[in-house]
């Protein structure tokens, strides 16, 4: 009863009452619509108790609800169990969307003669959503209250705003100077007839400036805005008079060499209120308060920030470095899988002999200790440790997912010291992990057979592999889009009436958010925004999977680089180069299901892995690699 969350919501309702607010909306967002947010911005978690990365809370005078997606139904169910917040399972039949719910609520208020008032913190709501709510209440004579951060008023021990010190990604790592990027951006501004351009997406700011920070866990960005005109560039960052607290003299010099001036972060609103020409910005990243600061006489050109597509199309330096990052990452992952297979008794006698010989010769035990069971946690610690030893390692690119058996059926499962599984010698261990290095960012999933698998598991693992390979080895004409190629990955599942309920792939940021757009592989088309052709230089994940609730989960993920293939009378063909260099477990494959072409693809991929990784391994690990990447022949 005296639940802390219910108490907080009760206090919030008092504040709502004081301020004449009927409904208060708390999205998961910082001022920049970041996918992941710093602790300071976890207001939705504060008011609901739900800790997942995605969700929206809506509090009315009598109800409170949390909307989240399928990844989090189980977790949110547990976390909301003790308080009165209703879990709204997005996408389930009969569950209203946030917008539908709000529409019903405001109509109900209007029907009893009230002019509905929706409140939210205008700096943590995208302009797109803010305008939508504005229209919703305006129709009924109501209005919005957006200048109050009510959660902030309640939250006593709120974490401070993040304020990491950015560092410079020098030209041998960035490949293109900010001034060259500026020329490209200004060309786009001219094309769009924009006198000004606001960069609100933190990944775009970091990419443009060739700076990286540490304001968000696993996403090396820093809280800032960039305002670009045809004449000057201003970085909005830090507190008034305290720029030197977060900008080192090296970074200050770097910026001033490029004629980039620095103003306090909070002054963006005043500056925007005084601009005198049309401004290009993306209302899906710029917040409601930002867009309302712009004078009504100025036209907002609401389009994707041009940096997004530029950023997604990696330059030659980024590509060459990323290839190297994947080799280093691949060596760590290869050792890791070898250790798992060894621990679970899944290596051949030949390799076992090599292990024994090496252990005697070096006097060191290889891999996991023998006297402790393998657990999801110890597996994650092992791969995280191997990555951290890589010379230019910066951080994990996301929290390692190490999920055994039924746990792998939960797409965003996270083992904790309080709640984890021991790995038994049967079925699959799924490990989805990656690192940020100065050379680039990785994201890889392997599903490892830790013992015998069932016939069904074997069939579905093989279909997942077919799906993965058909996309990785696709050849296609210039102009083909991710929503189209996704068919190739769906076919092995759809043909038997199965599916996986996530995209097949996402763009991969370069030492930025590991998830980025506009490239991706999905099949649902939601307007032209979901349609992006593949362009050489784009790096996208290829990660089909299959999940049987409470039983098992499978996913196989490589990152693949779009590149040009031959050009002929039919046009410019394109294909993919796999960047991830880690053997795929063939133990659970049903080779009878594979075509000769699919087997040729496996052999081609494993040849590339062997050539890339073998030079960096010795002893038993090398012997194991050579064995598991040996050419498969079918009679």
Work out whether 591 is an interface residue with a second copy (CB under 8 A): no
Least distance between a second copy and beta carbon 479 (Å): 6
Q: Which stretch binds a second copy (CB under 8 A): 2-10, 116-124, 228-236, 485-493?
A: 485-493
Work out whether 495 is an interface residue with a second copy (CB under 8 A): yes
| CB nearer a second copy, residue 481 or residue 617 | 481
Count the residues of the shown chain that bind a second copy, applying the rule CB under 8 A: 34
Judge if the upstream peptide bond of residue 518 is cis by omega within 30 degrees of 0. yes
| CB nearer a second copy, residue 301 or residue 600 | 600
| CB nearer a second copy, residue 548 or residue 587 | 548
94, 468, 470, 542 from 474: Cα distances, Å: 39, 10, 6, 12
Query: How far from the centroid of its chain's Cα atoms is residue 30's Cα?
Result: 16
Token pair of 72, please?
A: 């989090």
Token pair of 502, please?
A: 């996530």
Q: Which stretch binds a second copy (CB under 8 A): 257-265, 275-283, 336-344, 497-505?
A: 497-505
**φ, ψ for residue 633, nearest 5 deg:** -125, 140
Work out whether 487 is an interface residue with a second copy (CB under 8 A): yes
Q: Which of 279, 286, 224, 274 is nearest to 251 (CA)?
A: 224
**φ, ψ for residue 549, nearest 5 deg:** -50, 135
Least distance between a second copy and beta carbon 360 (Å): 49
Q: Where on the phi/psi map is residue 148: left (φ > 0), alpha (ψ -120 to 50), or beta?
A: beta
**What's the CA gap between 162 and 222, in Å, rounded?**
8
Work out whether 409 is an interface residue with a second copy (CB under 8 A): no
Question: Does residue 414 contact residue 360 with C-beta atoms inside 8 Å?
Answer: no
Work out whether 73 is an interface residue with a second copy (CB under 8 A): no
**What's the CA gap between 584 and 592, in Å, rounded?**
17
The radius of gyration computed from the CA coordinates of the chain, to the nearest angstrom, equals 26
Question: Out of 77, 159, 571, 615, which residue is the one contacting a second copy (CB under 8 A)?
Answer: 571
Least distance between a second copy and beta carbon 525 (Å): 6
Q: Which stretch binds a second copy (CB under 8 A): 82-90, 108-116, 222-230, 563-571?
A: 563-571
Work out whether 528 is an interface residue with a second copy (CB under 8 A): yes
SS3 (DSSP) at 465: helix
SS3 (DSSP) at 166: coil
| CB nearer a second copy, residue 131 or residue 523 | 523
183, 325, 348, 349, 610 from 615: Cα distances, Å: 42, 15, 22, 23, 8
SS3 (DSSP) at 603: helix
**What's the CA gap between 147 and 552, in Å, rounded?**
47
Work out whether 241 is an interface residue with a second copy (CB under 8 A): no
Least distance between a second copy and beta carbon 498 (Å): 6
Question: Does residue 159 contact residue 39 with C-beta atoms inside 8 Å?
Answer: yes
**What's the CA gap between 582 and 270, in Å, rounded?**
51
Alpha-helical segments (H) within 49-125: 73-80, 98-111
> The tokens 């049903």 sit on which residue?
590
80, 89, 286, 288, 405 from 76: Cα distances, Å: 6, 9, 28, 28, 21
Q: Considering only residues 455 through 484, tell me which ones interact with a second copy, judged by CB under 8 A.
A: 474-477, 479-481, 483-484
Question: Out of 2, 364, 371, 570, which residue is the one contacting a second copy (CB under 8 A)?
Answer: 570
**What's the CA gap between 337 and 328, in Å, rounded?**
15
Question: Out of 58, 127, 450, 488, which residue is the one contacting a second copy (CB under 8 A)?
Answer: 488
| CB nearer a second copy, residue 114 or residue 498 | 498
Work out whether 491 is an interface residue with a second copy (CB under 8 A): yes
Least distance between a second copy and beta carbon 540 (Å): 16
Work out whether 417 is an interface residue with a second copy (CB under 8 A): no
Question: Out of 340, 430, 485, 562, which residue is the one contacting a second copy (CB under 8 A)?
Answer: 485
Question: Out of 391, 524, 634, 635, which residue is the one contacting a second copy (CB under 8 A)?
Answer: 524
Question: Does residue 409 contact residue 447 with C-beta atoms inside 8 Å?
Answer: no
Question: Does residue 537 contact residue 310 with C-beta atoms inside 8 Å?
Answer: no
Least distance between a second copy and beta carbon 129 (Å): 22
Least distance between a second copy and beta carbon 466 (Å): 12
Work out whether 91 is an interface residue with a second copy (CB under 8 A): no
Work out whether 523 is an interface residue with a second copy (CB under 8 A): yes
Work out whether 603 is an interface residue with a second copy (CB under 8 A): no
| CB nearer a second copy, residue 357 or residue 501 | 501
Work out whether 525 is an interface residue with a second copy (CB under 8 A): yes
Q: Which stretch binds a second copy (CB under 8 A): 288-296, 376-384, 567-575, 623-631?
A: 567-575
| CB nearer a second copy, residue 107 or residue 501 | 501
Work out whether 522 is an interface residue with a second copy (CB under 8 A): no
| CB nearer a second copy, residue 324 or residue 530 | 530
Question: Does residue 429 contact residue 450 with C-beta atoms inside 8 Å?
Answer: yes
Q: Considering only residues 346 through 385, tell me which ones interact with a second copy, judged by CB under 8 A.
A: none
Least distance between a second copy and beta carbon 533 (Å): 8
Work out whether 499 is an interface residue with a second copy (CB under 8 A): yes
SS3 (DSSP) at 88: strand
Alpha-helical segments (H) within 57-212: 73-80, 98-111, 127-138, 150-154, 171-174, 178-191, 202-209
Question: Out of 494, 564, 611, 631, which residue is the one contacting a second copy (CB under 8 A)?
Answer: 494
Q: Residue numbers of the site for a second copy (CB under 8 A)?
A: 474-477, 479-481, 483-488, 490-491, 494-495, 497-499, 501, 523-525, 527-528, 531, 565-566, 568, 570-571, 573, 595
């Amino acid at each position: 009863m005296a639940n802390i969350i219910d108490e907080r919501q009760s206090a919030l309702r008092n504040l709502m009452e004081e301020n004449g607010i009927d409904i208060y909306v708390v999205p998961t967002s910082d001022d920049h619509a970041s996918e992941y947010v710093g602790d300071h911005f976890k207001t939705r978690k504060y008011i609901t108790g739900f800790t997942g990365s995605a969700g929206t809370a809506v509090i009315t005078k009598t109800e409170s609800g949390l909307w989240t997606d399928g990844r989090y139904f189980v977790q949110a169910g547990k976390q909301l169990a003790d308080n009165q917040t209703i879990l709204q399972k997005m996408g389930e039949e009969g569950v209203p969307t946030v917008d539908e719910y709000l529409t019903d609520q405001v109509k109900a208020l209007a029907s009893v003669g009230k002019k509905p008032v929706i409140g939210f913190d205008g700096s943590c709501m995208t302009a797109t959503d803010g305008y939508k709510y504005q229209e919703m209440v305006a129709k009924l004579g109501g209005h919005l209250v957006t200048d109050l951060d009510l959660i902030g008023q309640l939250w006593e021990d709120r974490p401070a705003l993040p304020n990491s010190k950015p560092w410079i990604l020098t030209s041998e790592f960035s490949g293109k100077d900010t001034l060259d990027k500026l020329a490209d951006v200004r060309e786009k501004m001219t094309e769009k007839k924009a006198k000004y351009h606001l960069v609100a997406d933190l990944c775009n700011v970091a990419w443009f400036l060739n700076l990286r920070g540490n304001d968000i866990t696993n996403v090396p960005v820093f809280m800032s805005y960039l305002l670009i005109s045809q004449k000057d560039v201003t970085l909005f960052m830090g507190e008034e008079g305290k720029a030197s607290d977060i900008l080192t003299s090296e970074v200050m010099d770097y910026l001033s060499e490029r004629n980039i001036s620095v103003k306090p972060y909070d002054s963006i609103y005043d500056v925007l209120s005084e601009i005198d020409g049309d401004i290009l910005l993306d209302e899906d990243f710029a917040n409601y308060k930002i867009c309302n600061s712009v004078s009504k006489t100025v036209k907002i050109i609401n389009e994707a920030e041009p940096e997004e597509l530029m950023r997604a199309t990696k330059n030659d330096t980024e590509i060459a470095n990323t290839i190297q990052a994947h080799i280093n990452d691949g060596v760590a992952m290869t050792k890791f899988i070898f250790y798992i297979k060894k621990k679970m008794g899944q290596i051949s006698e030949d390799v076992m002999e090599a292990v024994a010989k090496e252990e005697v010769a070096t006097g060191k035990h290889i891999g996991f200790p023998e006297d402790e069971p393998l657990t999801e946690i110890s597996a994650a610690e092992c791969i995280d440790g191997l990555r951290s030893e890589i010379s230019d390692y910066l951080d994990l690119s996301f929290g390692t997912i190490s999920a055994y058996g039924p746990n792998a059926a939960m797409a965003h499962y996270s083992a904790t010291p309080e709640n984890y599984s021991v790995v038994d010698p049967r079925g699959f261990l799924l490990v989805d992990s990656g690192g940020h290095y100065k050379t680039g960012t990785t994201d890889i999933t392997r599903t490892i057979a830790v013992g015998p698998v069932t016939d069904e598991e074997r069939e579905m693992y093989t279909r997942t592999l077919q799906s993965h390979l058909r996309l990785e080895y696709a050849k296609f004409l210039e102009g083909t889009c991710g929503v189209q190629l996704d068919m190739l990955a769906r076919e092995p599942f759809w043909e038997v009436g199965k599916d996986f309920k996530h995209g097949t792939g996402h763009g991969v940021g370069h030492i930025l958010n590991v998830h980025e757009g506009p490239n991706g592989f999905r099949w649902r088309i939601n307007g032209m925004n979901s349609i992006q052709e593949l362009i050489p230089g784009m790096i996208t994940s290829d990660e089909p999977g299959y999940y049987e609730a409470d039983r098992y989960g499978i996913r196989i993920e490589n990152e693949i680089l779009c590149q040009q293939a031959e050009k002929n009378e039919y046009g410019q063909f394109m294909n993919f180069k796999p960047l991830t260099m880690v053997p795929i477990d063939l133990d659970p494959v049903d080779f009878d299901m594979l075509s000769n072409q699919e087997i040729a693809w496996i052999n081609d991929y494993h040849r590339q892995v062997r050539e890339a990784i073998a030079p960096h391994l010795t002893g038993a690990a090398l012997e194991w690699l050579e064995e598991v990447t040996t050419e498969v022949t079918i009679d």
